[in-house]
Structure 1
């Protein structure tokens, strides 16, 4: 399953690292791709990945919007 988010408040390398860590902690084994320039995050993983990813990004302090 694939989930994609726009994360407009992810603006720098520190933000990217924080989101990457949050997703790795919440979704071990999921494939995560972040495009900092486009402010997008895509995750490929098991069923339920979208909800878990959204919660992890929010807990890291960012505002994900599903695409």
Structure 2
């Protein structure tokens, strides 16, 4: 058992231009095309945040084409 906290224990919620959400290890640089939404926490906390905020799974471009 390790006493040090694994750096992967802290994640940040990220979103892309299509308003699709994901999580990313906080200590790593974000991949191109993704931006932090300002929420960090454990993996479970971040996934719960996404579940609460990403209510329409369709990409933004598809929602716009279909009027909604």
With normalisation by structure 1, the TM-score equals: 0.29
Greater RCO (Cα-Cα under 8 Å, separation 6 or more): 1
Between structures 1 and 2, the one with greater helix share: 1
With normalisation by structure 2, the TM-score equals: 0.29
